[in-house]
Amino acid sequence: MNLEDLLIPFGKVFGRSVDIRNALYDRGVLRSYDLGVRTISVGNLTTGGTGKTPIVALVAEILAGEGERVCILTRGYGRKNAGRRVLVSDGQKILSDPEAGGDEPIELARRLGEKAIIIADADRVSAAAWARERFGVTAFILDDGFQHRRARRDVDIVCIDATDPCGNGRMLPAGRLRESFRNLDRADAIVITRADLVSSTAEIEARLRARNAGAPLFRAVTQIKRFTELVTFLDREPKTDRDLTGVKVWEDLVRSRISNDSGSLRVGAFCGIGNPDAFFEQLRRSFIGIGDSVVEIAMTRRFNDHHRYGQNDIDSIERASNENGVDVLVTTAKDAVKLDGLKFRIPCFVVESASVIDRPEDLRVLLFGV
C-alpha cells in the first residue's frame, strides 16, 4: 500500500468537513460579505497548476480595458508572514518582493502594470474595504477564490486543466482535490485551460456538463508571447514599456543558428510550478514551429511549486546544463521573479505567456453582467 492509499481516510474526513462548511454557507449560517463593487472570482477545484494566473490576468485586462479601477485580492500562497497585509502594487509601482508578497502576485504585477492594484491578504473582505477607501476600486478579482466563500462574488469562474482535470480524483491530502467535482454547480463559468495540449476536450466537457449544464464553457490556450533575457525582465517596471533588447537577444541567437547551420540551440528548462510537464510541452511545441532541429530541449529540471531559489539551486542547474551541452536556460515568469540577485554563467531567458480564450465577447458579457 502506498502513501496515497494510506491517506485516503484523511481525505474523506477533509472532504466531509468541506461539505459541512459549504452547507453552512448555503444555508446562511456562515455569512458572505458584499465587497461593495462588482466582484469576479477565479479559482479551481485542485491545488495549483491549473493555469489560473493567466486567466486572472486576462480578466483584469478586460475589466481595465473598459475603464474599471481593478484590484486583485490574493492570499499570496507561500509568502512569508502570510497573515500580514501587503500592498504588492499600487498600479504604478511594485512595492513588494516575492518573499513578502508571493511569487504569483509579483508575476501579476509585472504583467499587468497600471491595469491593476494587487493586495496580498488572507482577510480579503477587510482588504477590499481598505482598497476601496484608498484607491477608489470599482471592480475586484478574487484570485484563487472559489473556496473563499466569505467574500461574496457576482461571477464564479472555475479553471479546469485539460492535461490533469482532477489529479488522481482524491481529496486532500490523498490527492489534489480541494472539494468534490459535484460542487461545480456553484460555478457561473468554467474555463478549460491548456486545451491545446490534449488531443480532444470532448470527454472533459461531457463530465463538466454532467455536473453543471448551465454554466458557459470556455476553452483557453496559453501562447508564448516572447522570450526575454532575465536581466531585462527583472529591470522592467510595471508602468514602462517593454524593453525589446532582451527579446532581440533571443531572436538573434535563434537566427544565427538558422543562418549559419551551426547545430541546434540546446535549451535547459527549469521551473517550480504546479504543472511543470505542461510548461515543458508548451516549450517543445513552440520550438517545433521554429524549424526542424533549430531549437531543442536538452535538459529539464523541476522544483516544488513556489520554490524559493538560492544560489546553490542555480549552480546545480548549471552543472547539469554543462553535462548536457546546454547553450541557454529558460524558465517561467513565476520563477523569474525569485531569481533577482542570483548569478548565472549561462544566459537565462524568461518565457512570457498569455491566455487566449475562445468566445472572448461572451466572457466580456459575463464579466459585466450585460
Q: Which domain holds residue 241?
A: 225-353
Residues 11 and 155 in one domain: yes
Residue 161: pLDDT above 90? yes
Q: How many other β-carbons are positioned within 10 Å of the β-carbon of residue 322?
A: 13
Residue 238: pLDDT above 90? no
Q: How far apart are the first and last CA of the chain?
A: 53
**pLDDT number for residue 240:** 47
Residues 256 and 121 in one domain: no
**pLDDT number for residue 208:** 94
119 vs 111: CA distance, rounded Å? 15
Residues 308 and 172 in one domain: no
CATH number at residue 169: 3.40.50.300
CB 215 within 8 Å of CB 187:
yes
Distances (CA, A) of 342 to 176, 197, 234, 308, 348: 32, 33, 11, 12, 11
Please calculate the CA angle 361-367-370 and round it to the nearest 5 degrees. Answer: 75
Please calculate the CA angle 151-18-57 and round it to the nearest 5 degrees. Answer: 45
Cell of 164: 490533469
CB 329 within 8 Å of CB 349:
yes
Please report, to the nearest 10 degrees, the dihedral formed by the alpha carbons of residues 52, 55, 57, 58 taken in order: 180
Does 208 or 3 have the greater pLDDT score? 208
**pLDDT number for residue 239:** 41
- Residue 254 banded pLDDT, cuts 50, 70, 90: confident
Residues 184 and 332 in one domain: no
Residues 32 and 143 in one domain: yes
Residue 54: pLDDT above 60? yes
- Residue 363 banded pLDDT, cuts 50, 70, 90: very high
Q: How remote is the C-alpha of 29 from its chain's centroid? A: 33
Residues 32 and 90 in one domain: yes
- Residue 237 banded pLDDT, cuts 50, 70, 90: low
- Mean of pLDDT values over 200-228: 94
151 vs 20: CA distance, rounded Å? 18
Question: Half-sphere exposure of 8 toward its Cβ, with a 13 Å CA cutoff?
Answer: 6
The 10s digit of each residue's pLDDT in 313-358 is: 999 999 999 999 999 999 999 999 999 999 999 999 999 999 999 9
Residue 271: pLDDT above 70? yes
Cell of 317: 542547474
**pLDDT number for residue 291:** 60
Residues 211 and 274 in one domain: no
- Which positions ≥6 away from 214 have C-beta within 8 Å? none
**pLDDT number for residue 63:** 98
The 10s digit of each residue's pLDDT in 276-312 is: 999 999 999 988 766 656 899 999 999 999 999 999 9
Count up the domains in the chain and report the number.
2
| Window from 6-10, 188-192, 265-269, 301-305 with minimum mean pLDDT | 6-10
Q: What is the value of pTM for the model shown? A: 0.93
Does 294 or 146 have the greater pLDDT score? 146
Residue 175: pLDDT above 60? yes
Q: Minimal CA–CA distance to 332: which of 306, 354, 352?
A: 352
Look over the chain and give the mean of its residue pLDDT values, rounded to a whole number.
91
| Window from 45-49, 139-143, 289-293 with minimum mean pLDDT | 289-293
Residues 214 and 111 in one domain: yes
Residues 184 and 249 in one domain: no
247 vs 239: CA distance, rounded Å? 18
**pLDDT number for residue 169:** 83
CATH number at residue 339: 3.40.50
Distances (CA, A) of 183 to 31, 188, 329, 370: 19, 12, 41, 26
- Mean of pLDDT values over 92-112: 95
Residues 189 and 201 in one domain: yes
Residues 106 and 167 in one domain: yes
Name residue 2's amino acid: N
228 vs 333: CA distance, rounded Å? 10
**pLDDT number for residue 252:** 80
288 vs 286: CA distance, rounded Å? 5
196 vs 289: CA distance, rounded Å? 14
CB 308 within 8 Å of CB 326:
no
Helix (H) or strand (E) holding 365: helix 360-368
Residue 122: pLDDT above 90? yes
Residues 98 and 163 in one domain: yes
294 vs 283: CA distance, rounded Å? 13
| Window from 198-202, 248-252, 302-306, 346-350 with minimum mean pLDDT | 248-252
Residue 145: pLDDT above 90? yes
Q: What are phi and psi of 118, to 5 degrees?
A: -130, 125
Does 263 or 369 have the greater pLDDT score? 369
Residue 226: pLDDT above 60? yes
Distances (CA, A) of 174 to 5, 165, 168, 293, 303: 7, 16, 9, 41, 20
